[in-house]
Structure 1
Amino acid sequence: MSALIINLRPTIDLTDDEFYEFCQQNPDLKLERTANGALIIMPPTGGESGYRNADLITDVSIWNRQTELGVVFDSSTVFKLPNGANRSPDVTWIEYDRWNTLTPGQQKKFPPIAPDFVIELRAETDALSDLQEKMQEYMDNGVRLGWLIDPQTKQVQIYRQGQPVEILQNPFTHSGETVLPGLVLDLSRIFR
């Protein structure tokens, strides 16, 4: 099962508050919205994707607790990007200084901010080209570092601002570089 895309415009043009309320009224659906206002209904993932994603978020969260440099978010969090899209990466991290520029109301709903770091973990239901487009959208909207992790091909595609995508084949570990200093993820568990 792949994502279902529903084009609403020009018939329906949801405001940010209406989209937020729509999501609250449909908590069993994982929803995103494109910059053009189309709704994306994401299918649930299976057990393998679930435990892999839990491993990734655990590692990033432990690093973050040790360094106290920012805030970590799971895949349930939707961010409003500068281009108007509402996206929910599998793992997200934002520096405290940037997070604290948002008002409490902005932090409570769908934060209007491009994260500093994102991870997208490819599930069997995900089309690789869709995830690559999503990763490029993140970069175009100010995300500093992004990893597209594909357990099916045992690859990590690394997205950096202003640089070509780097592809690593079956890496044992990978570092957070200067964006997440000291973070080293053990990817061997992801690629078993």
Structure 2
Amino acid sequence: MLKRKSSGPERETAKKQKYSPKKDVLDLNNLDFNYTYSLKEYKLIMKHLKVHSNYELVNGKIIPIQYTPIANEAVVHEIARQLGNWNIKYQQNGLVTTSQGGFNFSNSNKQKIRAPDIAFTPMETCLSLDDNQLWSFKGQPFTPNFVVEVANLENNALEKIIDTKIKKDYFAMNTSVKLGWLIDPKNCVIWVYKRNKHNQPYRYKHKWEDLDGGDILPRFTLKLTRIENIVSQNLEEEKSDDEGDKCSYCNKIFTNVHEIIKHLEKEHT
């Protein structure tokens, strides 16, 4: 028996069904970075990846975050350490996060899960978060008020990508970000990002000198000497330079912020 030959419209329908991009089963071992994933699929991927990696979700696309050289990551840690010490010393009670901490920078119906190298979320925002916001990406999106990216800006294409991410995502109209730093420790370059009176982001080049947090991070100053020691591998100088904080009442010296806080509470309050 001869099979009836499919007509034109039928062949087109069959072709569409055959090559439909819809995924009935999520294959965790063969991720398709051209496919648009839902937030539910994204969470399953993050949960079941055999090798722990860092990914961002931007408009349904999974964007791999490349591993960075050890010196770059050490600088990220140093900035986060100084920010964390300031957070405790001046009782800001906010949250300091690094590139494992994601935020939803969505400015439309599609989610943009981005993870800045360093971010600070103030206490007022933290106190308003519910369990869904704290432990998942459900609920009302929220963002930090301060972000930092650390990168080698010798690559002009990379600088353009990061600059666009900061301006278009971090400083989108509906986010809380008010201050951003783009730091290249290898080439001693600093770009500072702020908002103008129309709430639009702009940036300016800052001298390679200690950075003041201004009104966004009151009394916080990023000391670049520590970062320079990491880049130059002058670790001995970094250790000897760590004189610690001095109690303003009895001049006792402490090398740990937690210790001086306990000392003040016990001896001077």
Q: How many Å separate the matches in 1 of 2:187 and 2:142? A: 31
Q: How does 1:100-111 map to 2 (within 5 A)?
A: 100-110=127-137
* Matched AA of 1:25: H
In the alignment, is residue 186 of structure 1 matched against residue 223 of structure 2?
Answer: yes
Pairwise CA distance, 1:110:
3.7
* Matched AA of 1:106: Q
SS at match of 1:159: strand
Q: CA RMSD in A?
A: 2.2
Question: Deviation above 3 Å: which 4+ runs of structure 1?
Answer: 123-126
In the alignment, is residue 170 of structure 1 matched against residue 193 of structure 2?
Answer: no
Correspondent of 1:133 among 164, 167, 173: 164
* 2:71 corresponding residue in structure 1: 48
* 1:58 corresponding residue in structure 2: 81
TM-score (norm 2): 0.62
Pairwise CA distance, 1:123:
4.5
Q: Structure 1: which 5+ runs fail to align? A: none
SS at match of 2:225: coil
Pairwise CA distance, 1:178:
0.4
Quote the sequence identity (%): 24
* 1:145 corresponding residue in structure 2: 179
Pairwise CA distance, 1:190:
2.7
Number of residue pairs matched? Answer: 182
Q: How many Å separate the matches in 1 of 2:179 and 2:53? A: 28
* 1:93 corresponding residue in structure 2: 120
Of Structure 1 and Structure 2, the greater strand share is in 1
Q: How many Å separate the matches in 1 of 2:164 and 2:73? A: 22
Which one has more relative contact order, counting CA pairs under 8 Å at least 6 apart?
1
* 1:73 corresponding residue in structure 2: 97
* Matched AA of 2:177: V
Q: How many Å separate the matches in 1 of 2:34 and 2:144? A: 26
TM-score (norm 1): 0.85
* 1:20 corresponding residue in structure 2: 43
Deviates more, 1:60-69 or 1:101-110: 101-110
Any idea what the Cα deviations from partners look like across 1:57-86, whole Å, max 9, x if unmatched?
Answer: 000000001122211112111111132210
Of Structure 1 and Structure 2, the greater helix share is in 2
Pairwise CA distance, 1:18:
2.9
Which entry has the higher C-alpha Rg, 1 or 2? 2
